[in-house]
Amino acid sequence: MSSPGGATEVVILFEQATLAQQPVFVPYGGTHWAVLALGAGGAVFLIALGRRHRGRDTARVVSRGFAVVLVAFQLPFQVRALTPAQWDLYESLPFQLSDLAWIVAAYALWSHRWWAFALTYYWGLTLTPQAMFTPALDAPDFPHVAFVEFWGHHLFVAWAALYLTWGVGLRPTWRSLRVTLAVTLAWAVCAQTFNAATGANYGFLDRKPANPSLLDVMGPWPYYIAVEFVAVVIGWALITWPWVSSRRRARADTRESA
């Protein structure tokens, strides 16, 4: 009978052999464009689905079904990352902002709570697309599990944000922006504290990713952290203002017609 350690070694050797047989993911290669096209097509479908059921008794059922699918997809990957064969202190823990994003997105789909929607809206429509267009993915190409996990993870969060906003009809406010900034800053403090204690780089708060990204034009560490924060505040304000303005115009039109 083989020992648990021997079984782990067999798994590791098998995965290494599998990696050697598969091509490495190439940014802006065929599979990258294919998955971006999938993301666009899925977004159109989900927005149409949300609009079709908006205001009906089935709206909550559809939204909660989406939440269940998201959790059913993501949870096995998180469990897998914590197994002895995959464990890595610097990558396995759910300390990335994207790890928090899928949990919040699932809860937002299930509950439609304003604060959960707010986090999903801002994270899913700005930070998640950035990861999709400049992917930090040093892994084998499709259909390897690392490829499926990375892209499925980010697509589901972006889809949730689009579905809740343009499908279900939820809207952000200036309060939504303030709460999301506070939660994001709290996450950054916790992640940076862990990074300082362990030498990890969760959130790319200590080092830029090896792949090209927007951080490359924001200067060296630690200046790019401050530049990124300012860019995030401006970007989030820009995607909040149209909704707030439209509500003000609607209220003014209602008062004039009364």
Q: How far apart are CA 160 and CA 175, in angstroms?
A: 20
End-to-end CA distance of the chain, in Å?
82
- Every domain of the chain and the residues it spans: 4-16+28-257
Q: How far apart are CA 86 and CA 117, in angstroms?
A: 32
- How is residue 23 annotated by DSSP? P
pLDDT digits (tens, 9 = 90+) for 219-238: 898 899 999 999 999 999 99
E strand segments, 73-188: none
Give the length of the chain.
Answer: 258
Whether 5 has a pLDDT exceeding 60, the answer reads no
Whether 252 has a pLDDT exceeding 80, the answer reads no
Omega prior to 143 cis, within 30 of 0 = yes
Question: Who contacts 40 (Cβ-Cβ below 8 Å, separation ≥6)?
Answer: none
- Can you tell me which residue has the tokens 């709206």? 59
- Can you tell me which residue has the tokens 């937002």? 108
Cα torsion 228, 234, 237, 239: sign: negative
Binned at pLDDT 50, 70 and 90, residue 8 comes out as very low
Binned at pLDDT 50, 70 and 90, residue 10 comes out as very low
Whether 32 has a pLDDT exceeding 90, the answer reads yes
Q: Are 120 and 70 in contact (CB under 8 A)?
A: no
Q: Are 236 and 130 in contact (CB under 8 A)?
A: no
Q: How far apart are CA 104 and CA 119, in angstroms?
A: 7
Whether 56 has a pLDDT exceeding 90, the answer reads yes
For the segment 140-168, the average pLDDT, to the nearest whole number, is 94
Question: Who contacts 152 (Cβ-Cβ below 8 Å, separation ≥6)?
Answer: 73, 74
DSSP letters along 104-165, please?
A: HHHHHHHH--HHHHHHHHHIIIIIHHHHHHS----SB-TTSHHHHHHHHHHHHHHHHHHIII
pLDDT digits (tens, 9 = 90+) for 78-115: 899 888 988 899 888 889 999 999 999 999 999 999 99
Binned at pLDDT 50, 70 and 90, residue 7 comes out as very low
87: left (phi over 0), alpha (psi -120 to 50) or beta: beta
Q: pTM for the complete prediction?
A: 0.87
Q: According to the model, what pLDDT value does residue 254 have?
A: 66
Q: Are 257 and 144 in contact (CB under 8 A)?
A: no
Whether 123 has a pLDDT exceeding 70, the answer reads yes
